[in-house]
Amino acid sequence: MSDQRSLFHQQVYQPDFLDPKASAIPTFSLLQQKGELYPTAKAPDLSKEKALKIHDTFLFIRALDERMLASQRQGRISFYMTEIGEEAADICSAAALKPEDTIFAQYREQGALAYRGFSVDQFMNQIFANELDLGKGRQMPVHYGSKALNYVTISSPLATQIPQATGYAYGLKQDKKDQVVICYFGEGAASEGDFHAGLNMAAVLKAPVIFFCRNNGYAISTPAHEQFAGDGIASRGTGYGIKTLRVDGNDALAVYEATRLARKIALEEHQPILIEAMTYRLGAHSSSDDPSGYRSKAEESKWQEQDPVARFRNWLIKQGWWSQEEDEASLAKHRKQVAEAMKKAEKLPKPALDTLFSDVYDELPWHLEEQLEEAKAHILRNPTAYPATAGRLVK
């Protein structure tokens, strides 16, 4: 190893400070709102089957988000987060990958998981934290994960998944796997130190990871202009030595094509890629948030007109692949399935008491065994105070 910096770089003889405003990054777009391509744009190679699967996932997520938000309002679940307005960003990027590529998500990418095949029952089991939840009812709603679908379990601390995605991708390269990692995060999370750590390490260690930023304008109540002063997130990519593209996040075709190319470059050139998808969080941050306190209806309706689902539907109809009637029938079908699955999941019991202590380690160490016994004995002495678990304990 040695110092590989060049001694012979271009020199100037006046102090010429670079102005960050001088080099705004353009946005890659293909599809207009009415479903027409831009004049010189070329549609990606997307089969009818795949296009309809993408749209079906759009409608499922709309139905799921709508019903779950209502359930939270009714007090049937503790918490929820919708992804309304951002469906094209995660669903179309996931559609451009292979099922064996691994996804590290933040929390507003349930669409990518649905596209991978997470069933409506699996969604419900996690949200209701019942005994069939893959996560054993330990995490808040919307913290999904599935080994079978290569979707790494979500955690609440923001941006922690970014350097992890880098490590995972490095491991794939070590195994000579023809696979990449995609790592989703919002523009707010990109202010965390882990964003810097993860991107810099990926560039230096040449990890095949696609960093996918959903720049939706807000981190809870904080607008993007209070988050950063530079040209969004994309402008940071080249500083790390990472190939970067800004894309219209409400344009399903552009997101699909951007991600497809990113995957190709990441694999062929063994290097990370940064995609910044410009979009808008049409819903509240979460069920615990009311956006009317920090933004206007006028602003929201301006973005409502940019709805990614409607835009893609318009394109499908123009292709002759879909109709308004089919669209309404499909949405109604998803709404019914969601409602039925919810009723089923709601009735299932909570996980058993021993799952409170298992999986802290691979095996139960002595102190957790002691504490499990202590908890059991206490519950058996006071069964009425613990109706969910008491009846299932063996004396």
Measured CA to CA, the distance from residue 69 to residue 75 in angstroms comes to 10
Q: Which of 167, 228, 375, 386 binds another protein (CB under 8 A)?
A: 167
Which residue, among 247, 251, 288, 107, has the nearest Cα to 184 in the 3D structure? 107
Question: Could you tell me which stretch among 91-99, 142-150, 287-295, 378-386 binds another protein (CB under 8 A)?
Answer: 142-150
If binding is defined by CB under 8 A, does position 160 make contact with another protein? yes
Q: Report the chain's terminal Cα–Cα distance, integer Å.
A: 66
Q: Which of 197, 224, 261, 372 binds another protein (CB under 8 A)?
A: 197
108 included as an active-site residue:
no
Q: Which of 15, 18, 366, 381 binds another protein (CB under 8 A)?
A: 366
Q: Which of 59, 172, 274, 278 binds another protein (CB under 8 A)?
A: 172
Cα-only R_g, the chain? 23
Q: Which is closer to another protein, CB of 226 or CB of 359? A: 359
If binding is defined by CB under 8 A, does position 200 make contact with another protein? yes
CB of 113 to another protein, least distance (A): 12
Measured CA to CA, the distance from residue 331 to residue 328 in angstroms comes to 5
Give yes or no for a contact between 246 and 302, defined as CB atoms under 8 angstroms apart: no
If binding is defined by CB under 8 A, does position 155 make contact with another protein? yes
313 included as an active-site residue:
no
Contacts of 123 (CB under 8 A, 6+ apart): 64, 110, 114, 144, 341
- Catalytic pick among 62, 285, 311, 334: 285
Q: Which of 59, 61, 169, 341 binds another protein (CB under 8 A)?
A: 169
Q: Buried b / exposed e across 113-148, counting CB within 10 Å, b at 16+?
A: bbbbebebbbbbbbbbbbebbebbbebbbbbbbbee
38 included as an active-site residue:
no
Helix axes 87-95, 308-319, angle to 10 degrees: 50
- Catalytic pick among 281, 311, 313, 334: 281
Q: Which is closer to another protein, CB of 74 or CB of 174? A: 174
C-alpha of 326 from chain center: 28
If binding is defined by CB under 8 A, does position 190 make contact with another protein? no
If binding is defined by CB under 8 A, does position 98 make contact with another protein? no
If binding is defined by CB under 8 A, does position 367 make contact with another protein? yes
C-alpha of 173 from chain center: 23
Q: Which of 57, 71, 166, 286 binds another protein (CB under 8 A)?
A: 166
Residue 84's alpha-carbon distances to 193, 318, 376, in angstroms, are 28, 24, 43
- Catalytic pick among 38, 294, 378, 392: 294
Q: Which is closer to another protein, CB of 26 or CB of 157? A: 157
Give yes or no for a contact between 122 and 338, defined as CB atoms under 8 angstroms apart: no
Residues annotated catalytic, as ranges: 281, 285, 294
Q: Which residues bind another protein (CB under 8 A)?
A: 1, 102, 104, 133-136, 138-139, 143, 145-147, 152-153, 155, 157, 160, 162-172, 174-175, 193-194, 196-198, 200-201, 204-205, 359-362, 365-367
